[in-house]
Structure 1
Protein backbone atom coordinates (compact mmCIF):
# COMPACT_ATOMS: atom_id res chain seq x y z
CA UNK A 1 0.00 0.00 0.00
CA UNK A 2 1.34 3.40 -0.91
CA UNK A 3 0.82 6.63 0.99
CA UNK A 4 0.69 10.14 -0.45
CA UNK A 5 0.54 13.46 1.40
CA UNK A 6 -0.68 16.84 0.20
CA UNK A 7 -0.82 20.35 1.64
CA UNK A 8 -4.33 21.80 1.28
CA UNK A 9 -6.63 24.56 2.46
CA UNK A 10 -9.30 22.06 3.63
CA UNK A 11 -9.70 23.48 7.12
CA UNK A 12 -12.96 22.29 8.71
CA UNK A 13 -15.52 19.51 8.81
CA UNK A 14 -17.66 21.29 6.24
CA UNK A 15 -14.73 21.45 3.85
CA UNK A 16 -14.01 17.74 4.37
CA UNK A 17 -17.66 16.99 3.62
CA UNK A 18 -17.50 19.12 0.46
CA UNK A 19 -14.44 17.30 -0.90
CA UNK A 20 -15.49 13.76 0.13
CA UNK A 21 -17.45 12.93 -3.02
CA UNK A 22 -14.60 14.10 -5.25
CA UNK A 23 -11.86 12.16 -3.42
CA UNK A 24 -13.99 9.02 -3.15
CA UNK A 25 -14.17 8.93 -6.97
CA UNK A 26 -10.38 8.60 -7.34
CA UNK A 27 -9.52 4.97 -8.20
CA UNK A 28 -7.29 3.00 -5.86
CA UNK A 29 -7.86 5.00 -2.67
CA UNK A 30 -8.66 2.76 0.29
CA UNK A 31 -8.41 5.40 3.02
CA UNK A 32 -7.91 9.16 3.31
CA UNK A 33 -8.08 11.86 5.95
CA UNK A 34 -7.33 15.54 6.43
CA UNK A 35 -5.48 16.72 9.53
CA UNK A 36 -7.35 19.99 10.03
CA UNK A 37 -5.37 20.63 13.24
CA UNK A 38 -2.08 20.79 11.29
CA UNK A 39 -1.32 24.34 10.06
CA UNK A 40 -0.68 22.88 6.58
CA UNK A 41 -4.03 20.97 6.55
CA UNK A 42 -2.35 17.73 5.44
CA UNK A 43 -4.40 15.35 3.29
CA UNK A 44 -3.11 11.78 3.66
CA UNK A 45 -4.16 9.24 1.04
CA UNK A 46 -3.53 5.49 1.15
CA UNK A 47 -4.21 2.87 -1.48
CA UNK A 48 -2.88 0.79 -4.34
CA UNK A 49 -1.86 2.47 -7.58
CA UNK A 50 -3.20 5.89 -6.57
CA UNK A 51 -2.43 8.54 -9.19
CA UNK A 52 -1.34 11.75 -7.43
CA UNK A 53 -2.48 13.80 -10.43
CA UNK A 54 -6.04 12.46 -10.03
CA UNK A 55 -6.03 13.40 -6.33
CA UNK A 56 -4.81 16.91 -7.20
CA UNK A 57 -7.50 17.26 -9.87
CA UNK A 58 -10.27 15.96 -7.58
CA UNK A 59 -9.47 18.40 -4.78
CA UNK A 60 -9.15 21.32 -7.21
CA UNK A 61 -12.48 20.35 -8.81
CA UNK A 62 -14.02 20.54 -5.32
CA UNK A 63 -12.78 24.14 -5.09
CA UNK A 64 -9.77 23.74 -2.82
CA UNK A 65 -6.05 24.41 -3.14
CA UNK A 66 -3.67 21.46 -3.01
CA UNK A 67 0.06 20.81 -3.45
CA UNK A 68 1.73 17.40 -3.34
CA UNK A 69 4.34 17.02 -0.62
CA UNK A 70 7.43 15.22 -1.87
CA UNK A 71 9.45 13.32 0.68
CA UNK A 72 13.23 13.44 0.32
CA UNK A 73 15.11 10.17 0.66
Structure 2
Protein backbone atom coordinates (compact mmCIF):
# COMPACT_ATOMS: atom_id res chain seq x y z
CA UNK A 1 0.00 0.00 0.00
CA UNK A 2 1.39 3.37 -0.92
CA UNK A 3 1.79 6.10 1.64
CA UNK A 4 -0.79 8.86 1.75
CA UNK A 5 0.33 12.49 1.99
CA UNK A 6 -1.54 12.87 5.29
CA UNK A 7 0.35 9.89 6.77
CA UNK A 8 3.68 11.30 5.61
CA UNK A 9 2.98 14.72 7.12
CA UNK A 10 2.29 13.07 10.49
CA UNK A 11 5.79 11.56 10.55
CA UNK A 12 8.72 13.33 12.18
CA UNK A 13 11.59 14.40 9.89
CA UNK A 14 13.73 11.53 11.23
CA UNK A 15 10.97 8.99 10.56
CA UNK A 16 10.60 10.36 7.02
CA UNK A 17 14.31 9.89 6.33
CA UNK A 18 14.14 6.36 7.71
CA UNK A 19 11.06 5.54 5.61
CA UNK A 20 12.74 6.97 2.49
CA UNK A 21 15.76 4.73 3.05
CA UNK A 22 13.52 1.67 3.55
CA UNK A 23 11.56 2.40 0.37
CA UNK A 24 14.72 2.89 -1.69
CA UNK A 25 16.11 -0.44 -0.42
CA UNK A 26 12.81 -2.17 -1.21
CA UNK A 27 12.79 -0.65 -4.72
CA UNK A 28 16.36 -1.84 -5.32
CA UNK A 29 15.37 -5.36 -4.21
CA UNK A 30 12.26 -5.47 -6.41
CA UNK A 31 14.20 -4.22 -9.44
CA UNK A 32 16.85 -6.86 -8.81
CA UNK A 33 14.23 -9.60 -8.74
CA UNK A 34 12.70 -8.30 -11.97
CA UNK A 35 16.11 -8.01 -13.67
CA UNK A 36 16.96 -11.61 -12.84
CA UNK A 37 13.84 -12.78 -14.62
CA UNK A 38 11.73 -13.38 -11.57
CA UNK A 39 8.26 -11.99 -11.45
CA UNK A 40 7.50 -9.64 -8.58
CA UNK A 41 4.65 -10.75 -6.31
CA UNK A 42 2.59 -7.80 -7.50
CA UNK A 43 3.17 -6.32 -10.97
CA UNK A 44 2.43 -2.76 -9.81
CA UNK A 45 4.66 -2.92 -6.74
CA UNK A 46 7.65 -1.13 -8.33
CA UNK A 47 5.43 1.73 -9.48
CA UNK A 48 3.77 1.94 -6.08
CA UNK A 49 7.17 2.20 -4.35
CA UNK A 50 8.30 4.90 -6.79
CA UNK A 51 5.13 6.93 -6.15
CA UNK A 52 5.64 6.66 -2.38
CA UNK A 53 9.24 7.85 -2.71
CA UNK A 54 8.11 10.80 -4.84
CA UNK A 55 5.46 11.78 -2.29
CA UNK A 56 7.98 11.59 0.54
CA UNK A 57 10.52 13.72 -1.32
CA UNK A 58 7.87 16.28 -2.31
CA UNK A 59 6.68 16.76 1.26
CA UNK A 60 10.24 16.85 2.58
CA UNK A 61 11.10 19.63 0.10
CA UNK A 62 7.91 21.54 0.91
CA UNK A 63 8.89 21.58 4.56
CA UNK A 64 12.52 22.44 3.85
CA UNK A 65 14.11 19.17 4.94
CA UNK A 66 17.36 17.86 3.54
CA UNK A 67 17.55 14.43 1.90
Fold conserved (TM > 0.5)?
A: no
- TM-score by length of structure 1 reads 0.28
Structure with bigger helix share is 2
Structure with bigger strand share is 1
